[in-house]
């Protein structure tokens, strides 16, 4: 059977009560800035491409909004009555799309890797199995379904933790269901309609198919995966944090292997969509999230947060800076203590220093704003100097307005530029001025009250 005739089904309809997420579905809980469902899709992509169905229910609209490219493959489980019921909801669509087999995975398995998927598929196909699943060994108390085997070691069923009775089922072996299944549609279809909700949760369990398959004498295969923590699902805040830490360590190790220099790596958080060129240097603690791109020889200091930003070659981000949706050009310098908001752009060798904030503003090549400045909705020309305490007054209470500062202009300290306003090339604005009118190129503008001295009263 070819992989093209096998589809994947992701179970993502649950509320996740133990996650205390209220209106957000469980699979939308985030790890390193991305929903856990993102990681499941990432693992499935190399094997299935777009041949993936997602069973959604609680919070379905949010799932569609965040993953619009997967919306066409989403099937609604209007009433969430268990994992078996979820597969029943997806079954007609599987048949309609011509699938002959399916791989089913829980949407709360963010550490799942493509190798786990191919391992299960390869072994099930090689054995000609009608039904297969991955199992793991877990010590101590857990909420996973217990795998039952007979005296000869043959799998005879899976019993959920709530329904497990040692007096009836024996001493737990520690082997549990990992939530990753393979089903041949033609042979499993008759069993699917025989699922019942006669259990402690009052739900239709997908795991009951294993017992039914064993009873019917179908070819059943359990694929032991040892103690692999990557197959552990996430169903509590503690499990979420543990999974995130495992993912964080994996990504740091990956980029170290690609040639990045990452100091204090245990305190560095790198999102799954981030790219880092060889030779870039990071010092923790710091966070790189979203679709951030870090080019060669970039240096990022400690206590920094960089989100959805691009840092060009030789750029430097000093400590305690926060970048979100920013573009930093070659050789440009940011911070320390700088904040670049969406639309902020530094051209080649431009510089912003401590306590400078930029939003929808462009700082031209070689231009600098060294300290205590707000630049919003502004365009600053090459080589311009923005003095300390300068503010572009871009908001009049209803609308935003733009400030344009020409090449080589010099803005004195403690200046307020009331937009819309233009300061021409080479112009000089005296310190302490409030500029409300355009300043012509090469001119000096001073807009402040005349200093006077009065006799002090005794």
Tokens of 12: 């993502």
What is the bridge-based pairing of β-strands 322-324 and 304-307?
Answer: parallel
- Contact present, 430 and 445 (Cβ < 8 Å): yes
Place of tokens 């009049």: 396
String of DSSP letters for 233-265 = ---SHHHHHHHHHHHHHHHHHHHHHTT-EEETG
| Residue 371 among the catalytic residues | yes
* Cα distances (angstroms) measured from residue 343 to each of 75, 286, 309, 405: 37, 22, 10, 17
3-class SS shares of the chain: helix, strand, coil, % to 5? 25, 30, 45
Place of tokens 């203590």: 337
- Contact present, 333 and 320 (Cβ < 8 Å): no
Q: Is 68 exposed, middle or buried (0-12, 13-18, 19+ CB in 10 A)?
A: exposed
> Which one of 38, 85, 318, 371 is the catalytic residue?
371
Tokens of 90: 């997806």
Q: Per residue in 96-108, is it b (16+ CB within 10 Å) or e — as a string?
A: eeebebbbbbbbb
Tokens of 161: 């933790």
Catalytic sites, residue numbers: 371
């Amino acid at each position: 059977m070819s992989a093209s005739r096998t589809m994947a089904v992701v179970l993502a309809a649950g509320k996740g009560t133990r996650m205390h997420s209220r209106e957000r579905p469980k699979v939308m809980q985030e790890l390193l800035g991305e929903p856990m469902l993102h990681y499941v899709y990432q693992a499935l992509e190399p094997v299935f491409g777009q041949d993936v169905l997602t069973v959604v229910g609680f919070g379905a609209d949010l799932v569609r909004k965040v993953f619009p490219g997967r919306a066409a493959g989403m099937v609604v489980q209007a009433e969430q009555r268990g994992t078996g019921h979820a597969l029943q909801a997806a079954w007609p669509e599987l048949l309609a799309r011509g699938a002959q087999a399916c791989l089913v995975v829980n949407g709360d398995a963010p550490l799942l890797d493509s190798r786990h998927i191919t391992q299960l598929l390869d072994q099930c196909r090689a054995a000609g199995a009608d039904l297969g699943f991955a199992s793991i060994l877990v010590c101590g108390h857990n909420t996973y379904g217990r795998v039952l085997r007979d005296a000869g070691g043959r799998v005879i069923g899976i019993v959920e933790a709530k329904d497990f009775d040692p007096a009836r089922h024996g001493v737990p072996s520690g082997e549990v269901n990992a939530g990753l299944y393979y089903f041949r549609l033609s042979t499993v279809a008759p069993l699917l309609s025989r699922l019942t909700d006669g259990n402690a949760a009052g739900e239709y369990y997908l795991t009951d198919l294993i017992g039914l398959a064993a009873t019917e004498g179908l070819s059943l295969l359990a694929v032991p995966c040892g103690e692999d923590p990557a197959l552990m699902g996430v169903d509590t805040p503690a499990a979420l944090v543990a999974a995130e830490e495992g993912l964080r360590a994996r990504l740091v190790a990956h980029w170290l292997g690609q040639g990045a220099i990452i100091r204090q790596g245990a305190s560095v958080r790198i999102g799954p969509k981030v790219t880092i060129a060889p030779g870039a240097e990071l010092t923790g603690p710091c966070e790189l999230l979203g679709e951030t791109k870090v080019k060669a020889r970039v240096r990022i200091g400690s206590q920094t947060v960089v989100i959805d930003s691009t840092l060009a070659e030789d750029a430097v981000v000093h400590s305690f800076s926060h970048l979100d949706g920013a573009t930093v050009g070659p050789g440009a310098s940011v911070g320390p203590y700088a904040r670049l908001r969406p639309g902020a752009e530094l051209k080649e060798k431009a510089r912003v220093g401590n306590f400078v904030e930029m939003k929808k503003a462009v700082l031209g090549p070689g231009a600098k704003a060294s300290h205590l400045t707000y630049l919003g909705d502004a365009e600053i020309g090459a080589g311009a100097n923005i003095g300390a305490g300068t503010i572009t007054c871009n908001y009049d209470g209803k609308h935003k307005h733009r400030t344009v500062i020409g090449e080589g202009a010099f803005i004195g300290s403690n200046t307020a530029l009331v937009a819309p306003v233009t300061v021409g090339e080479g112009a000089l604005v005296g310190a302490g001025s409030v500029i409300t009118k355009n300043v012509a190129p090469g001119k000096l503008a001073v807009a402040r009250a005349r200093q006077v001295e009065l006799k002090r009263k005794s």
